Structure 1
Amino acid sequence: MAAGLALALTACGGLAASPGDESSSSAAAYTELATGSAASAADEAALQKVPASARDAYAGFWQSTRLGPNPYADWSAPKAPWQFCYSSAYQGNSWRQEGLTVAQGIVDQLTGQGLVKGKLIVSDANNNASLQATQINTMVQKGCNVIFVMQPPTVGLCNAFEGARKAGALVVVMQTGTDCTNVMQSDFGAYHAGQTSAAWLVKKTGGKGTVVMCDGIPGVAAGEARQAGAAAVFKEAGLKVDHITGQWTPSTIKSQMLQYLSTNPGDVAGVWDGGVCAVPVTEAFEQAGRNLPWITGFEGACAWLANWKKTGKDSIGFTQGAGQGVVEAFKIALRMLAGQKPEFNTLLYPLQTIDGSNVDQYYNPAMTLNSACNAQPTGGEVVPASYYDDLFKGGNQPATFTSGLDKLPVK
């Protein structure tokens, strides 16, 4: 399925070339999105161009996105005040709501500095790519200077992005991969995160036994990138790997895990979490009366941390809430509004790791198995502002803000 996805994305990408130029030479400036594939020579060459200080976060980047030159190299930043806009593919869960809450808080701070005109313009496409494209076009007509796009589909919006770019709007895609090369992308290193949690599981299991990978929604590049990173580690370690597909839905995950346990009576050494899996997997093992294996986390859910404290079983995960993703996207936009030029179209950063050595820095006793929140990065940001110094050049100092992540409620 992964190979078929990669072919489909290449065929449907449309804007494979540099914005406004679809010549073969321009297309070659960007690597191809190749989910589930090994690195090509072009991928390896592109990776070596990334500054050493950020290179770990770019490991396996081709699994979820394309890497090449800054598509806004000739863009002239408008003078303040600016109109900020927020296009969300879907707002129907607490993770997405957190992201919008943080965005509104940042805009309020910038408004107080005299840098914003009007209120934050927000749209929700309810997972409809055509509707989201229309909403982005409308934002351009309303004079949006910066459009933040939360987790759009990998393909389908390139033309809308191109229309915004040509109109002078800066578009920053957050928290997902995209086949479009005419936008800025801000995301965490998904492949590297998958590698990190898988390596932990190999160590805990001693590299022996069967590991079950709890995968997300097939075809979502960001999810498949972390799966590919984990699978590579397990293969190198020689572990037997089975899969369940949980669709990032707790009820589905529990059902799939119970079904797996009913047909696989042998011991399970560990379960790798591709997102939202830890709690329902634990419940499935308990319901089946089976010994609880080592289970990783992923997105730093409050419920996962409460589950960790309940079982007393060590785990590993990351601070991957939507709010921290919004914070990093704003850092990029404000640098560009200050005239700084990014070296690449895709700016990836590492996540903070939560493990047995630091779990109490992220756990709050108010967290329960039913909590719908995420642990937040210590220090209020997943990486310091200086992380991006090697990824930008020129320009002035950007406007600053307080993330407010440490003030988000535990709910």
Structure 2
Amino acid sequence: MLSSHAGIAAELDEIPASEKAAYERIDPQVPLGISPLRNFKPKKGPPWKIGYASNYAGNGWRAAIMDEFVNKLLPQYKEAGLVSEVVVTQSELKDTVQIQQMRQMVDDGVDAIIICCSNVTAINQTIEYAYNKGVPVFSFSGYVTSPYAINVTENAAAGGYIAGKWLAEEIGGKGNVVLVSGIPGFATSDSFDIGAKDALAAFPDVKIVGNVAGNWTDQVAQVEVQKFLATNPQQIDGMLVQSSSENGVLNAVLQSGRPLMPIVLGGEASAACFWRKNPEFVSKSFHFWPPRADARMVWDVVMRTLQGQGPKVKSILRAALPYTIDDVKAALPEDCDLNSTDWLEPTGDNWAPSKVLGAFFDKPSDPLTWKP
């Protein structure tokens, strides 16, 4: 069951009042309360070496994240004299490998470590190891339960709830739904599913008739949904999908010969292109975890923390943003690519404005123009 403000009121004291709505329907495992890094001071001044201990590289979302870190943010902050390099490792979903890689990063002198979408508990001891060595760890697009980390993430449970409610209403409050999860056991995937099931529980005539793991990867999702549709002849009225799997799910349905049903879209340009060409397909879509905006958000928080700005809380959350067919038309040309690996991102700075992020710090300052 998801938590509401009433259940966590005491731990929301340090959350800016304008941002408390992002903490509605929160996964109760998400750490709240005072950040352990509120009075953090780095071991040395800039330029800092940042570690990115990635645990997966197999989809377009991860590629966009990497490009944003290495080719967009690093040059900016290098020119400003704040960052010297970004050290990247890949563990390919192996917790033991990620643990070893993170420990090696700490021993090799990184000043902070960024992780993404990890198992909520598996690397907690390693996060504590890093913390004790003066190296803060930041989890984005997913959370860890370690009291020593900072989570900078979307409220995935609330996102799942929004998606589930929208889909139930889109199919008229009744019908059979297939749930296409991300990677079971990982924070974002499990939280999203919790929220989605919570929403669907309010619609007794909507039934989840299948649940497959799409691994946040179109190719995997397409195969898994094709197998499900081939072996389950009952009518399917909606697909509740975690991005980045929606294009794979869409292709599986189109190739099955079944009538096209509403599918939850989460930002892939390929699926958005299909929507642009078929505007009656769905009524709206959502930015749940836009990759480049997510990367900029966690980077901002890392920089502010290293600069001694004083993060107030353990978890900085954002809420899903809806977008419409008009937004798609503004972002994609009429001859858009149905096989694009790009993403639609929130316009401008809408995902995590600097003013909003600054409100989570005791001594906020623009991290790019900050001077020691």
Deviation at 1:230, TM superposition (A): 1.8
Deviations 1:80-133 (A, max 9, x none): 2322222211234332222122112212111111223x3222222232222222
Do 2:243 and 2:268's aligned partners in 1 also have CA atoms closer than 8 Å? no
Work out the CA distance in 1 between the residues paired with 2:330 and 2:159: 20
Counterpart contact for 2:161–2:198, Cα < 8 Å: yes
Count of residues in correspondence between the two structures: 362
Change (3 A) 1:235 1:164: same
SS for the counterpart of 1:83 is: strand
Change beyond 3 A, Cα 1:284–1:97: closer
**Could you tell me which residue of structure 2 aligns to residue 406 of structure 1?**
none
Provide structure 1 residue ranges, at least 5 long, that are not aligned to the other structure.
Answer: 1-36, 402-411
- Supply the AA of the counterpart residue of 2:21: D
- Maintained 8 Å contact 2:181/2:242: yes
Alignment correspondent of 2:311: 342
Q: Name the residue aligned to 2:192.
A: 226
Instruction: Tell me which residue corresponds to 1:108.
Output: 75
Looking at structure 2, the residues matched to 377 and 221 of structure 1 have their Cα atoms a distance apart, in angstroms, of: 23
**In the alignment, residue 111 of structure 1 is paired with which amino acid?**
K
The one-letter code of the counterpart of 1:132 is Q
Match of 2:249 among 242, 266, 281: 281
For the residue of structure 1 that corresponds to 2:207, the secondary structure is strand
Which of residues 322, 345, 350 is equivalent to 1:353? 322
State the TM-score, normalizing by the size of structure 2.
0.86
Task: Specify the code of the residue in structure 2 equivalent to 1:309.
Answer: R
Alignment correspondent of 1:53: 18
**What aligned pairs does 1:173-252 form with structure 2 within 5 A after superposition?**
173-242=139-208, 243-248=210-215, 249-252=217-220
- 1:169 shift after superposition: 1.8
Q: Which residue among 119, 125, 137 is the counterpart of 1:159? A: 125
Matched position secondary structure for 1:392: coil
Q: Establish whether residue 321 from structure 1 lines up as the match of residue 290 from structure 2.
A: yes
Instruction: Show structure 2 runs of 5+ residues with no match.
Output: none
> For residue 304 of structure 1, what is the aligned residue in structure 2?
271
* Amino acid of the structure 2 residue aligned with 1:94: G
Indicate conservation of the 8 Å contact 1:87/1:132, yes or no.
Answer: yes
Is 1:139 aligned to residue 105 of structure 2?
A: yes
1:180-213 alpha-carbon deviations (Å, 9 max, x no partner): 1211111111112122222322332222333332
Deviation at 1:382, TM superposition (A): 1.7
Contact 1:338 1:398 survives alignment (8 Å)? no
- Output the CA distance in 2 between the equivalents of 1:81 and 1:68: 30
Q: Aligned to 1:177, what secondary structure does the other structure show?
A: coil
Instruction: State the AA in 1 paired with 2:298.
Output: A
Structure 1 residues 276-316: Cα deviation after superposition (integer angstroms, max 9, x where no partner): 44333333333333221222112x11111122134431241
1:86 matched residue in structure 2: 52
Q: 1:364 to 1:67 in 2, by over 3 A?
A: farther
> Residues 52-93 of structure 1, C-alpha deviation per residue, up to 9 Å, x if partnerless?
322232233335622232011342244323222222112343
* Alignment match, 1:69: 34
Hey, what's the Cα distance between the residues in 2 that align with 1:397 and 1:62?
A: 30
Question: Structure 1 length as normaliser, TM-score?
Answer: 0.79
Residues 187 and 349, structure 1, Cα contact 8 Å, conserved in 2: yes
Equivalents in 2 of 1:91, 1:290: separation in Å?
32
Q: CA deviation at 1:267?
A: 4.2
Letter in 2 for 1:287: Q
Q: In 2, Cα distance between the equivalents of 1:282 and 1:351?
A: 21
Asked if the contact 1:337–1:398 (Cα under 8 Å) also holds between the matched residues in 2, the reply is no
Deviation at 1:259, TM superposition (A): 4.9
CA contact (8 A) 1:46 1:67 kept: no
2: CA distance, partners of 1:222 / 1:83 = 27
Distance 1:287 1:127 in 2: 30
Letter in 1 for 2:106: V
**Equivalent in the alignment of 2:61:** 95
Aligned residue among 365, 375, 385 for 2:354: 385
In angstroms, what is the RMSD of aligned CA positions? Answer: 2.7
